[in-house]
Amino acid sequence: MKPTLLVLAAGMGSRYGGLKQMDAVGPNGEIIMDYSITDAIRAGFGKVVFVIRHSFEQEFKAKINAAHFGNKIEVEYVFQELDKLPAGFSVPEGREKPWGTNHAILMAKDAVHEPFAIINADDFYGADAFRVMGDHLRTLEGGKGNYCMVGYRLENTLSENGTVSRGVCSIDADNYLIGMTERTSIGRTANGIEYKDTDGSMHPLQPDTIVSMNLFGFTPDYFVESEKLFVDFLKEHGNELKSEYYIPFAVNTFINSGYAKMRVLRTTASWFGVTYKEDRPMVVERLRKLHEEGIY
């Protein structure tokens, strides 16, 4: 059994501007997804499913196809659109914002039938992260409610060009997730790494704090359970114009209810991405060095 990689690529990258998933940052014109898929192939993934939108389908497919990867991995596309909702629900007038990352996952329920990992299209996760995720997913076939995630050291996920938001993880002694707390406005200050609370106060975070970078692993039952939860979410928030159904919300709900456990996998990899336009030169330089070292 080979696991599947689910790539969340429907976002437009509002802070960066435009389709940042399509930005050539590698020395030979590679985009960040090229590295993720290469690492997934090396880690034994058998299929990649892209969640995109019809508005940029042709542009996206021109960049990504099976032949591009030497036909070493099966490629499939699914679409996240505002009106793809459970029966009985409709898009409220005036809503333009997507329904969030967990809604994006639900778009793949008919395309994925094996344990799968999910990633953001515009993030670089590192080869070791895919290796530990792939190895663990291969142990989950036939299971339910036994999920996993790759946890990164906070200090390896920051931008030098602005603050970031991160899911800060609480982990028990057996390396299972207790819960995730979304912290916003995290950055380096004269006092170390700090985040800004909703009241404007600053609080410290340790450099080795484990955070989520949306590299999760699930078994197919996740589609069924999170769709049920989405119905409850829409009943409460479906008429709001900006509410979003996020992955951490679903994960926390399943853990707190006792339905699921989430193993936190550790990695030696460093994460980086183009959160801001000013991050691009750093990404280009780090990828150039990886090519020089013969990793890609």
What pLDDT score was predicted for residue 59?
A: 79
Contact 82, 41 (CB under 8 A): no
Instruction: Give pLDDT, residue 16.
Output: 38
pLDDT tens-digit map of 120-153: 998 999 999 999 999 999 999 888 999 999 999 9
Tell me the per-residue pLDDT of 148-181, one tens digit each, with 9 for 90 and over. Answer: 999 999 999 998 899 999 989 999 999 999 988 8
* DSSP codes joined into one string, 155-221: GGS--TTS-EEEEEEEE-TTSBEEEEEEEEEEEEETTEEEEE-TTS-EEEE-TT-EEEEEEEEE-TH
Confidence band of 19 (pLDDT split at 50, 70, 90): low
Residue 97 pLDDT: 84
Mean pLDDT of the chain: 91
Categorize the per-residue pLDDT at 96 as very low, low, confident or very high, splitting at 50, 70 and 90: confident
Between 227 and 276, residue with greater pLDDT: 227
Domain that holds residue 245: 4-292
How far is Cα 102 from Cα 66, in angstroms, rounded to an integer? 26
Q: Is the pLDDT of residue 13 over 50?
A: no
Q: CA 140 to CA 114: how far, in whole Å?
A: 9
Q: Indicate if the pLDDT at residue 20 is higher than 60.
A: no
User: CA–CA separation, 114 vs 217, rounded Å?
Assistant: 11
Q: Is the pLDDT of residue 15 over 60?
A: no
The pLDDT value recorded for residue 70 is 75
CB 137 within 8 A of CB 116: yes
Whether the CB-CB separation of 213 and 118 falls below 8 Å is answered with no
All residues at 6 or more sequence positions from 120 whose CB lies less than 8 Å from its CB, including other chains: 7, 8, 11, 213, 214, 273
pLDDT > 70: percent of the chain: 96
CA distance 195 to 30: 33
Name the more confident of 165 and 3.
3
Q: What is the pLDDT of residue 182?
A: 85
Report the number of distinct structural domains present in the chain: 1
Q: Quick: pLDDT tens for 196-226.
A: 998 999 999 999 999 999 999 999 999 999 9
* 58-67, 167-176, 281-290: least confident range: 58-67
Res. 21: pLDDT tops 70: no
CATH number at residue 196: 3.90.550.10
Q: Which residue has the higher pLDDT, 139 or 1?
A: 139
pLDDT of residue 213: 93
Percent of the chain at pLDDT > 90 equals 73
Note the pLDDT of residue 56: 84
Residue 74 reports pLDDT greater than 50: yes
